[in-house]
Amino acid sequence: MQEIYFDNSATTRPCRESIEATVKAMDIFWGNPSSLHRRGTAAAELLLSARNEIITAIIGSKAASALPKRAGFTGSGGTGTLIFTGSGTESDNLALSGTLKALKNKKKRIITTDSEHPAILETLSAAEADGAEIYRLSTVSGVIDLSELKEALTPETSLITVMHVNNETGAVYDIPKIFEIAKKAVPGIICHTDCVQSFLKLPFTPKDLNADMITISGHKIHGPKGVGALWISDSLIRKKLPMAIIYGGGQENGFRSGTENLPGICGFAAAVKAAGTENAHIEFNKKTLLIREKIIKNLPAGVHVNTPAGKYVPNILSLTLPIPKSQPMLNYLSSNGIYISSGSACSSRKNTVSHTLTAFGLSNNEADRTVRVSLDSSNSEEEAVFFCKTLGEGIEKLGGR
């Protein structure tokens, strides 16, 4: 049976380079990077190499000359610091909880949006229960109203966190402008963005985004699961922000204790390197746009594309189907070797209507009939046509309206 994987926003298939680097690190460089003997030193050097590979992809090759060349972990002028974590979720938690912890009893008003990933929303809900004030900007049609943002910013605002690309609708939020407005209104405000869905798919540097902290994840870019990272600016490091939320041996310069997952980190770095040059996103977006257009052209009657009103990435499509619920369609497509999702994989098993889709403007009923198709450059236009054909057959079988 032909298999078509259209769920790349949930996870991606590890590339060959990532698999080989992961196995090599596990098999040959199995020493502890914190150990001072030869095996430990070899592991530490490999860790440094992987860190530099990933941070270069974030800050750009022109700034990478300032990165450390010898094993040992320090941030240096203009490069910021990269902290390895166990996932994008942990990186978000470190950014938010670690910052709030450092602020102690100081101002704790935080601005976010109503369509963030659960890693952000659940962390802030916990902070809210603990006394923090959370303001959630609306994202109707995938657009943030900048006038609402300006009104929401007060002298008491300490932190703003807004994702770069929405994982369910593909909406691209104007992070550079949002953070520019925030920093102008509240000097010293800390700006964090979750770039899990935009890393290596859209061009950016921390300077471009006006960001102080950036979250990325390995398994979204053909790397392994179980490894993420948080980039932190030099200015925050000097302020000793954020504070650690995991205690132990003080690894990752004290920001995240626990022996580093060197195999996962090496697989992450190999996936970054395999992505190619700083212009690799151009080919990715060109290819996925062609597939997207092929899908839209061949969609069965009655299927509605939830296209954001502003900018959006071509690789994520939100489709509302003319059937009572989306889950039977997911099952039908899966039985035919086609894999899509009903929204964020991190929350799809909770059997609740997507908060992102209702924030977008869909009714509960519409959200319950909506699926997400997320593409990769390895997909093809032929797969798009077969998907649409099978989708149409499924709508007929499942009682399409």
Please answer whether residues 220 and 268 qualify as being in contact, where contact means their C-beta atoms are separated by less than 8 angstroms.
no
Please check whether residues 352 and 230 belong to one and the same domain. no
Please check whether residues 131 and 181 belong to one and the same domain. yes
Please answer whether residues 324 and 369 qualify as being in contact, where contact means their C-beta atoms are separated by less than 8 angstroms.
yes
pLDDT of residue 279: 86
Residue the block writes with tokens 């299927």:
303
Please check whether residues 205 and 288 belong to one and the same domain. no
pLDDT of residue 70: 66
Among 193, 160, 228, 205, which residue's Cα sits nearest to residue 11? 228
Please check whether residues 254 and 302 belong to one and the same domain. no
Please answer whether residues 160 and 189 qualify as being in contact, where contact means their C-beta atoms are separated by less than 8 angstroms.
yes
Please check whether residues 214 and 318 belong to one and the same domain. no
- The catalytic position among 195, 266, 346, 388 is 346
pLDDT of residue 400: 60
pLDDT of residue 100: 93
pLDDT in tens, the chain (401 residues): 889 999 999 999 999 999 999 999 999 999 999 999 999 999 999 999 999 999 999 998 877 777 877 665 555 567 899 999 999 999 999 999 999 999 886 778 999 999 999 999 999 999 999 999 999 999 999 999 999 999 999 999 999 999 999 999 999 999 999 999 999 999 999 999 999 999 999 999 999 999 999 999 999 999 999 999 999 999 999 999 999 999 999 999 999 999 999 999 999 999 999 998 778 899 999 999 999 999 999 999 999 999 999 999 999 999 999 999 999 999 999 999 999 999 654 544 556 899 999 999 999 999 999 999 999 999 999 999 999 999 999 999 997 65
Residue 82, domain CATH: 3.40.640.10
Task: Report helix, strand or coil for 111.
Answer: strand
Amino acid identity, position 220: K
Q: Beta partners for 305?
A: 319
Please answer whether residues 100 and 108 qualify as being in contact, where contact means their C-beta atoms are separated by less than 8 angstroms.
yes
Please check whether residues 220 and 337 belong to one and the same domain. no
Please check whether residues 153 and 296 belong to one and the same domain. no
pLDDT of residue 369: 97
Half-sphere exposure of 32 (CA within 13 A, CB side): 8
Q: How far is residue 204's CA from residue 207's CA, in Å, rounded to a whole number?
A: 8
- The DSSP line for 307-348 is --SS-B-TTEEEEE-SSS-SHHHHHHHHHTTEE-BSS-TTTG
Farthest CA pair distance, the chain? 68
pLDDT of residue 77: 65
Q: How far is residue 211's CA from residue 322's CA, in Å, rounded to a whole number?
A: 41
Among 163, 136, 192, 138, which residue's Cα sits nearest to residue 309? 138
Among 249, 267, 265, 270, which residue's Cα sits nearest to residue 83? 265
pLDDT of residue 1: 80
Q: What angle do CA 74, 56, 48 make, to 5 degrees?
A: 45
215 φ/ψ angles, rounded to the nearest 5 degrees: -100, 135
Please check whether residues 197 and 92 belong to one and the same domain. yes
Q: Which two three-digit tokens encode residue 187?
A: 């000097």
From the number of C-beta atoms within 10 Å of its C-beta (0-12, 13-18, 19+), residue 107 rates as middle
Please check whether residues 8 and 123 belong to one and the same domain. no
CB atoms within 10 A of CB 112: 21
Cis check: omega of the bond before 14, within 30 degrees of 0: no
Q: List helix spans (H) across 28-78.
A: 38-59
- Encode pLDDT of 124-146 as tens digits: 999 999 999 999 999 999 999 99
> Does the annotation mark 346 as catalytic?
yes
Q: How far is residue 176's CA from residue 211's CA, in Å, rounded to a whole number?
A: 8
- Last residue of some domain: 213, 242, 274? 274
Q: Which two three-digit tokens encode residue 290?
A: 């062609």
Please check whether residues 290 and 263 belong to one and the same domain. no
- Last residue of some domain: 274, 295, 321? 274
Q: How far is residue 361's CA from residue 382's CA, in Å, rounded to a whole number?
A: 32
Range of the domain at 117: 16-274
pLDDT of residue 68: 75
pTM of the model as a whole: 0.95
Q: How far is residue 335's CA from residue 351's CA, in Å, rounded to a whole number?
A: 21
DSSP 8-state code for residue 79 = T
Domain count, the chain: 2
196 φ/ψ angles, rounded to the nearest 5 degrees: -60, -40
pLDDT of residue 65: 74
Q: Beta partners for 136?
A: 112
Please check whether residues 368 and 302 belong to one and the same domain. yes
Residue 320, domain CATH: 3.90.1150.10
Please answer whether residues 231 and 206 qualify as being in contact, where contact means their C-beta atoms are separated by less than 8 angstroms.
yes
DSSP 8-state code for residue 171 = B
pLDDT of residue 237: 93
pLDDT of residue 62: 75
pLDDT of residue 71: 61
CB atoms within 10 A of CB 306: 23
Please answer whether residues 10 and 374 qualify as being in contact, where contact means their C-beta atoms are separated by less than 8 angstroms.
yes
Q: How far is residue 196's CA from residue 164's CA, in Å, rounded to a whole number?
A: 8
pLDDT of residue 105: 65
- Last residue of some domain: 256, 274, 292? 274
Please check whether residues 109 and 254 belong to one and the same domain. yes
